[in-house]
Amino acid sequence: MDAGWLFLIPLVPLCGAIVNAAFGARLQRRFGRHAVSVVAVGVVVAAMGLGIGAVAQLAALPARDPALGRVLVDRVFTMVDVGGLRVDFTLALDALSAVLVLVITVVGALIHVYAVGYMADEPAYWRFFACLSLFVFAMLVLVLGDGFVPLLVGWEGVGVCSYLLIGFWYAEPKNARAGMKAFVVNRVGDWGLFAGVALLFWAVAGSWSAIDHRYYFDVGHVQPTLSFRALEQLFGAPEFAHAFAAKTIFGAPVPLVVSLLLLFGACGKSAQAPLHVWLPDAMAGPTPVSALIHAATMVTAGVYLIARLRFLFVLSPAALDVVVAVGLVTALGGAMLGMFQYDIKRVLAYSTISQLGFMFVALGVGAWGAALFHLVTHACFKACLFLGSGSVIAGMHRLTHARHTGHLDEGVESETDRHAMAAGDDEHQPAQLDPRVEADPTDPQDMRNMGGLGELMPRTRWSYLVACWAIAGFPWAAGFWSKDQILAAAYGKSMALWLVGVATAGMTAFYMFRSYYLTFEARPATAAHRRHVRESPAVMTSVLTILAVASLVVGPLGAWLLAHVTGDFAAHEAAARVTAGLMLASVAMATLGWAAARAFYKDEAEHAKLRAANRLRYENLHAFAFDNFRIDELYEATFVRGFAACARAAAWLDEVVVDGVVHALAAVTRGAAWLTGAIDRLFVDGAVDGVAALVLGGGRAARRVQTGRVSHYVLGMTMGVVLLVVWASWW
Amino acid sequence: MTAIALMMTLLSVTPSSLTFDGAGEKLLHVRNDGDAAVRIERAELAPGSDGFALQPTNGRVLQPGESYELRVAFVPDGRHAQAFGGVQLHAADGEVTAVAVRAGGSWLLTLMIFFPLVGAALVMLAPRGRHALVRAIALGTSLVPLAAALHAVAHFDGAGGLQFVQHVVWIPAFNVEYFVGVDGLSILMVLLTALISTIAILASFGIDQQVRGYFALVLLLETGMLGTFVALDFFLFYIFWELMLVPMYFLIGIWGGPRKEYAAIKFFLYTLVGSVLILLAIIALYFHAAPTALVDGTPVQHTFDMLKLASNDWAHKGLTLFGCDFSRVVWVAFFIGFAIKIPIFPLHTWLPDAHVEAPTAVSVILAGVLLKMGAYGILRVNFAMLPAATEWAATTMTVLGAINIVYGGLCAFAQTDLKRLVAYSSVSHMGFCLVGMASFTDVGMNGAMLQMFNHGTITAMLFLLVGVLYDRAHTRQIDRFGGLAAAMPRYAFVLGLGFFASLGLPGLSGFVGELLVFLGAFAAHRVVVAIALFGVVITAAYHLWALQRVLLGRWNEGWRDRAQFFDLTAREKLTLAPLAAFVIVLGVWPMPLLRLVGPGLGELVRHVLG
Amino acid sequence: MIGLQHFLVVSAALFALGLLTVATRRNAVAILMGVELILNAAALNFVAFAHFVAGAVGGVVFALFIIVLAAAEAAIALAIVLAIFRHFRTIDAHDVSTLKE
C-alpha cells in the first residue's frame, strides 16, 4: 500500500543533523546547549511519533497474502535507470522493519535524553548530537530501505557515524584508532556483502555455464533486480525457488555461496567471529554511543539483513548451519571473554557480542521471530546496562579526576570522613582481584576502582540490577521470554546445540552479576567515594528507570505484539514450544551462574579468602582470555602486518622495478644518443674537418714555392720558357 | 593535347552550397559550362547525408549551355538537430562534382573550444605586474566555456545521438575536416573539463611568478582538452591531443616542486611515446578506410572522419599487419597510447611524479580531466571503431583494471607523502573505469562513465585540499601532521567528505559508479571482480589511516605556531563548494547524469557486441 | 771562314752566362751586370743577323735601341737598388725576400 509520507521518518533526523552540524556551534554559543538538545531530541521524538503512526497504519491494514504480508511503500525517487537495471530509492515498512523502526526510535529517543545529561560538560556538544542524529537517519534508511542500494547507503552510513562517534574525542590517538579499526573491519565484511549482492543480482536472472564459464540469461526473462520486495515475490514462487536452488557456481550451489558471502558481511557489522574484534575497542566512544550504536541498533543490522533475506537462506540448509555455527562460537566465546574483563564497558561489549551470537543461532535454526524478539529485548536491557554503566562512569569520573589532579582530599564533610582520613583508610585501594594485572587508579571504567557504589547511586543500582535480572533470563523479565524461545528452537534442532546455549546462558548470568557485585557491592563505599561519587542527574536516571521497567514489561508485551504485528513475519518460523522442562533447565543454569558470581564477588573479604584457598583456579585462563583470546594480536601479526608488507612491496615494486624499466629505457636512450653524438663528432664531422685539413696542408706545402727571392723567380721563369719551347717543338 | 583538356567536365552548380533552416526544399541549378555535351550518369547523396532527399537521381545528357534543376529536401527526423551532407553528380568520364548541403550547424562548441585561446592572448597582452587583472581575465575567460558546457548539458537529449555539430571541410588535400560534436560519450567530459578548468584557475590565484605565462598556458591547455573531447575528425583530435602536452610540460616544469624538470620531462616523453603509437594507428586506419565522401560530398579514397571509420568493419577486411590481424594490431597501438594516459599498470609511473611536482591547480587539471582522456579515447576509438578486437581484449582489460585497483591501493597505503597517496588513489580509481568499460553491459559501462565524472570531481577536491595543507605547512609528509581537526574544523569536514567519497561510501558519488561497475562486470568476470572487490577494503584502509594521522590524534609538537594552520579562506571554499555539492547530490541522485549518457552508452555496447 | 753560327754560338754563350749570373748571384749590382750581359747577347745576335742576311739593316738599328734601353734600364735599376739599400741596408738579393709566403 502506498504511503508517500514514509520518507519523513528518516528525513526528520537528517534535518536535525544538518541543523546541528551547520549551526550547532552558533546555537550553543548563543542559547546554550539546550538549543542543540531541543533540536536533537525533538527530531528523534518526532521520528518516533511518525514511526508509531506508521506502524499503527500498518497494523490496521487487512491481512493479505501470507507470502507478501502487509507493507507500506514509499517510492521516493529513482536513483539509477540504465539498460538492465532500475534502482529506486524506495522505503518500505513491513513487519520486520516496523519492529526495528520502533526499537531505533524509542530506544534512540531515550538514549538521546540520557545523553543530554551525560554529555553536559562536553564543549563539542553540538557535534555529538549532529553525529547521533545522522546515525539515527542512516539506521532508519537501513531498515526502511527496500533494496540493497538503500540498505547499503544506511549500512555504510551507520559505519561512518560509528567511526565519527567512536573517535569523538579524537585528540586521544587510541580513540581515533578504535574508530578506524571499526570501519576497516566492517569494510572487510563489506567485501562479502558486495560480492554476495553482485552474485545474487546475476544469479536471479541467469547462470554460468560450467563448460565455457560464460553467463547466460535464463529463458523466462526474469529482470535482475536489487529490490527486496521484488526478490521476495520472485522467491515466493516455488518453481523459481527450486530452479534457483539448483544453480551452481564453480561447483557449489549458488544459494550457499550467496548466503555465506552475505553472512560474512553481516558478521562484520554485527561483530560476529571472526570479525568481532572491533567492538571491544569501540567502547572508547562515549557511553550513549555504545548504548545506541553498539548495543541496540547498528550491530543488529547484520541480524536484520539475514532476517530480511530469509527467503534466500532457507534455500540452503548448509548456509543456515554455518550461521548457527558462527552464532554459537561467538556466543560462547563472547561469554567466556566477558567473564574475565575488568573494564565495565568491555564486559558489556563482550556480552553484546555473545547475545548477538544468540540471535544468529536463532536465525540459523529458523526461529526468525525469536531472533527478532531477542533483538528487541536485548535492545532494552543492554541499553539499560550500558546507560547504567555510563552513570557509574560519570560518577567515578569525578573521583578519578580528583585523584588525577591531586584533589582527593577536597570536600571533607563529616566527622566520619575526618577520622577515616586521619586513619589513612579513605584512600581507595583497587580491589586485588587478580594480582597479575595492574589496575589503573585513574581509570573510571575499571571495576576494581569501584565497589560499594550501590549506596551512593541507588537508582542506577536498581535499574542495573533489573537489567542483569533480565539478561540472565530469570522469570518474568525480558530475557526469559526471548532467550527461552531461542533455546527451545535450538533444542528442536539438536540437543548439543541446546546444551551449549544453556551453558552460555549460565555464563551470561555469571559475568553480568559479577559486574554488578564488583561495581555496586563487594564492600562498603570508602570515604573518597562518598565525597566524590554522586548519583546522576534525573535526566539520566529517569531514562534508566524507564528502560529497567521496559526490560520487565517488554517480555510479555513484546510476545503479544509480535504475534499481532508480525504474525506474517513468523509464517516461516519453525514452531517452537517452550516446554516447562526446558524453562526450568535454563532458569536453573541462570541461578547457578548468579550464585557463583555472588559467592565469588559479593564480598571482597570472601573473595580474598577464596583466592587464598586457591578456589579461583579458573582465573588461570585469565591471561589468555583477557586479551580477546589474543585474536587481536593474531590479526595484527598476520593481516595487518601482512597488508602493510604487501603495500610496501607494491610501492617498492613500483619505484624500483616498474619505474626502473622506465629509467633503464631512458638510460638506453641516453646511451644511444651519446653514441650517435660520438659518431657524429668523430666520423661525420671528422670527414668535414679532414677535407679542410687536407686543403690546408696542401696549401701550406704549396706555399713554400714562394720564397721571396728574385733569383728563384728568375729560375722559375727560365725553366718555364725552356719547357714551353721543348713542348712546342715536340708538338 | 587540346582534345584531352577539353575532356574535363565543366559543370557549374548554383548555389555552391545549400543551407537549410529547418525542414524544406531547395533547388540546385546545374549548368554545363563546357563546349562539349556532358553525360551525367547519376546524381546521388554522399554517404552520411542523413535527413536529406534528392530528386531526380537518374542520369541525363547536358548540352553545352544547358542547365537543369535538382531538388534537395531536408526532413529532420528528430534524431539529429544538425545534418550535413553532400550531393554528388557523377559524370560519364568519372569526374564527380560535389555540392555541400547542411542544416543547422552549431557554433557553440567552436566558441567553447577557442574562447580560451582568445583569453590566453589577452592575458599575454596584459601589462606586466598587474596580477589581479590577469587573474580576472583568466577567470572571466574560463567562465565562457563553462556557460557553454552548461547550456549544452541543459539542452542535450540523451537519445539524440550527436548534437551541437559543426562539420566543414578544412584541408581538402589531406581529407581533413573540422568536425566537432557532442554525444553521450563526451557530454559529461565536456562539462567536467569546463568545470575543473574554472576551479583550477580560481585555485591558481596563489601563483605569483610569471603569472601571465601561467594563465596563458592554462587557458591553452583548456582549449586542448575541450577540443579533444569534441573532435570527431582524427586529424583534429590528434592536434588537440598534442596541444595538451606542451602547456602541461611547461606548467609542471616551471611552476612545479623540487623535482619539476624530471617530472615534466618524464610526463612529456611518456605521453609522447603513446601519442606516436596513436598517430601510427590513425594513419593505418586512414589508409585502409573504405572510400567515402567528405562532408561536402567530394568523394575521397581515405578519410579521417571518426564516425565513418567506425562504420568500417575492420575485422573482416582480411588485412594483416606484421603477420597479425590488422584490427588487433591497431587496437593494441591505440590501447597503449591511451593506456599511458589513464594510466594503466605498468605504464603508470609518470603519474606519481607528475602529480607530486605539479602545482596544486595543475594537479587538479591533470587528475580531474587528463586521466579521463585515456578512458574517453578507448571508448571513442577502441570500442567504437574496433569492436571485434575490443571483444577479443575484454579479459585483458578487466585483469589490468583489477590490477590497477588493487596495486594502486597497496602502493597508496605505503606512501608518506599525502599528494602521492592521492595520486596512487587516482590510479586505483581509474581501474574501476577500465573494469566497467570491459564489462560490455549497460550497467557496467554507465558505471564507468559515472566513475569518470565522479572521480574527476572527487579527486579535484582532494588535490585542492592537499594544496590547502601545503600552503599552510609547506610540507606534505603525513607524519608531520596530527590533530589538525581541532585547528581547522571546516577543512577537516571537507577532507573527511573527500576521503569518504574517494573510498566509495554509499551516499556519496564515488559509490554509484563503483557499484554499477561491480554489478556490470561480475557476470562476465566473476573471479577477477571478486579480487578487485578487495580494493574496497584496501581503499578504506589507506584513506582512513591518512585521515587519522593528519586530522585526528594529538597535535604534532613540531609545529610551534598553531596559527599558521588557519581554516579555509573564502576563495578555497569557493573552489571546493561546487565539487562538494556534486559529490553529495550525485551520491543519492545520479539520474540526471545517467539520462544524459545512458542511451549513447547502450548503443555503444550493442555496437561492440553486435 | 767565320760564319753566322759562330756569332750565334757566342751570343748564346753570352746569354747563358748572363742568365746564370742573374739566377745565381746574390749581389744586386751583379745581377744587373748579368742583365747587361743578356741584353748585349741579344744585341750581338741582332748585329750578326744584320750582317749576314742581305738588307737587314733593321738589326743594326735595333742594336742601337738596345744600347739606349740598356742604359735607361741600368739607370732605373740602380735607382731601385739604391732605394732597396736605403730600406733594407743590404743589397743581397737573398735577404730581400719579403714577398715570401
Q: Would you call A709 and C97 a contact, using CB atoms and an 8 Å cutoff?
A: yes
By residue count, chain A amounts to: 731
Looking at per-residue pLDDT, the higher value among B457 and A541 belongs to B457
From chain A, pick out residues whose CB is under 8 angstroms from the CB of C100: 706-709
Judging contact as 3 or more Cβ pairs under 8 Å, the answer for C and A is yes
- Bridge partner residues of B131 (DSSP): none
The answer to whether B601 touches B445, Cβ cutoff 8 Å, is: yes
Mean pLDDT over each residue of chain A, to the nearest integer: 83
Model pLDDT, residue A572: 41
| Domain ranges within chain C, ordered by starting residue | 4-88
**Residue of chain A nearest C21, judged by CA positions:** A711
Q: Would you call C100 and A707 a contact, using CB atoms and an 8 Å cutoff?
A: yes
B345 touches chain A (CB under 8 A): yes
Q: Would you call A201 and B522 a contact, using CB atoms and an 8 Å cutoff?
A: yes
B40 vs B89: CA distance, rounded Å: 7
The answer to whether B278 touches B338, Cβ cutoff 8 Å, is: yes
Secondary structure (3-state) at B533: coil
Grid cell 573527500 — which residue?
A: B498
Model pLDDT, residue A436: 58
Secondary structure (3-state) at A214: coil
B29 vs B62: CA distance, rounded Å: 12
B93 vs A631: CA distance, rounded Å: 89
Q: Would you call A711 and C98 a contact, using CB atoms and an 8 Å cutoff?
A: no
Report residue A179 as a C-alpha cell. 574508530
Residue from B268, B270, B400, B411 to probe the interface with A (highest A Cβ count within 10 Å): B411
**Residue of chain B nearest A212, judged by CA positions:** B524
B17 vs B28: CA distance, rounded Å: 9
Write out residues 222-251 of B within 8 Å (CB-CB) of A: none
Distance to chain B for A83, nearest Cα, Å: 5
∠ CA(B347), CA(B350), CA(B356), 5° rounding?
Answer: 145
- Bridge partner residues of A72 (DSSP): A93
Give the model confidence (pLDDT) of A563-619 as tens digits.
665 554 554 444 455 577 777 888 888 888 888 888 877 777 777 777 666 656 666
B500 vs B491: CA distance, rounded Å: 14
The answer to whether A85 touches A224, Cβ cutoff 8 Å, is: yes
Mean pLDDT over each residue of chain C, to the nearest integer: 91
Distance to chain B for A660, nearest Cα, Å: 10
Distance of CA A32 to the CA centre of its chain: 33
The answer to whether B103 touches B77, Cβ cutoff 8 Å, is: no
B338 vs B351: CA distance, rounded Å: 14
Residue from B526, B556, B601 to probe the interface with A (highest A Cβ count within 10 Å): B526
Q: Give the A:C interface size as CB pairs under 8 Å.
A: 34
Model pLDDT, residue A233: 84
From chain A, pick out residues whose CB is under 8 angstroms from the CB of B596: none
Q: Would you call C23 and A707 a contact, using CB atoms and an 8 Å cutoff?
A: no
2.60.40.10, 1.20.120.1460, 3.40.50.300, 3.20.20.60: CATH of B2-102: 2.60.40.10
Q: What is the mean pLDDT of residues A415-423?
A: 59
DSSP character for B558?
T
Judging contact as 3 or more Cβ pairs under 8 Å, the answer for A and B is yes
A652 vs A465: CA distance, rounded Å: 58
Grid cell 490496521 — which residue?
A: A60
Q: What is the amino acid identity at position A327?
A: G
Residue from C15, C37, C81, C94 to probe the interface with A (highest A Cβ count within 10 Å): C94
Which of B443, B446, B544 faces A180 most closely, judged by CB atoms? B544
Given 3-state DSSP classes, what are the helix, strand and coil percentages for chain C, each rounded to the nearest 5? 75, 0, 20
> What ipTM is given for this predicted complex?
0.86
B422 vs B501: CA distance, rounded Å: 13
Model pLDDT, residue B5: 40
Mark the ranges of chain B whose per-residue pLDDT is less than 70. Answer: 1-9, 78-81
Report residue A270 as a C-alpha cell. 554485527
3-state secondary structure B24-81: EEEEEEEEECCCCCEEEEEEEECCCCCCEEEECCCCEEECCCCEEEEEEEECCCCCCC
- C86-95, Cβ contacts within 8 angstroms, sequence gap of 24 or more: C91/C27, C91/C28, C91/C29, C92/C26, C92/C27, C92/C28, C93/A709, C93/A710, C93/A711, C93/C25, C93/C26, C93/C27, C93/C28, C93/C31, C94/A709, C94/A711, C94/C26
**Residue of chain A nearest C95, judged by CA positions:** A709
Nearest to B151 by CA among B183, B189, B108: B108
pLDDT at residue A366 above 90? Answer: no
Q: Would you call A711 and C24 a contact, using CB atoms and an 8 Å cutoff?
A: yes
Q: Would you call A662 and B540 a contact, using CB atoms and an 8 Å cutoff?
A: no
The answer to whether A126 touches A40, Cβ cutoff 8 Å, is: no
**Residue of chain C nearest A700, judged by CA positions:** C101
Q: Would you call A195 and B533 a contact, using CB atoms and an 8 Å cutoff?
A: yes
Strands A72-82 and A85-93: antiparallel
Model pLDDT, residue B208: 86
pLDDT at residue A286 above 80? Answer: yes
Q: Would you call A80 and B589 a contact, using CB atoms and an 8 Å cutoff?
A: no
Helix axis angle, A368-405 relative to A478-493, nearest 10°? Answer: 130
Nearest to A8 by CA among A48, A60, A57, A61: A48
Q: Please, is A334 exposed, middle or buried when counting C-beta atoms within 10 Å of its C-beta (0-12, 13-18, 19+)?
A: buried
Model pLDDT, residue A615: 57
A710 touches chain C (CB under 8 A): yes
Q: How would residue A341 be classed by pLDDT, with cut points 50, 70 and 90?
A: confident
Q: How would residue A208 be classed by pLDDT, with cut points 50, 70 and 90?
A: confident
Given CATH 3.50.50.60, say whether it is the number of domain C4-88.
no
Q: Mind giving me the DSSP string for A317-347?
A: HHHHHHHHHHHHHHHHHHHHHHTT--BHHHH
Q: Would you call C100 and A709 a contact, using CB atoms and an 8 Å cutoff?
A: yes
- In 10 A of CB B556, how many CB atoms? 15
Q: Would you call A198 and B590 a contact, using CB atoms and an 8 Å cutoff?
A: no
Grid cell 743578356 — which residue?
A: C38
Judging contact as 3 or more Cβ pairs under 8 Å, the answer for B and C is no
Give the model confidence (pLDDT) of A100-133 as tens digits.
999 999 999 999 999 998 888 888 888 999 999 9
pLDDT at residue A522 above 60? Answer: yes
The answer to whether B293 touches B48, Cβ cutoff 8 Å, is: yes
Q: Would you call B519 and A198 a contact, using CB atoms and an 8 Å cutoff?
A: yes
Model pLDDT, residue B500: 94
From chain A, pick out residues whose CB is under 8 angstroms from the CB of B608: none
Chains in contact with A, where contact requires at least 3 CB pairs less than 8 Å apart: B, C
Maximum CA extent, chain C: 54
- CA distances to A326, A361, C23 from A323, rounded to whole Å, are 5, 7, 130
List, in sequence order, the alpha helices (H) in B155-233: 187-203, 211-230
**Residue of chain A nearest C97, judged by CA positions:** A708
Strands B96-103 and B17-20: parallel
**Residue of chain B nearest A216, judged by CA positions:** B523
C86 touches chain A (CB under 8 A): no
Q: Give the A:B interface size as CB pairs under 8 Å.
A: 164
Which of C23, C97, C98 faces A714 most closely, judged by CB atoms? C23
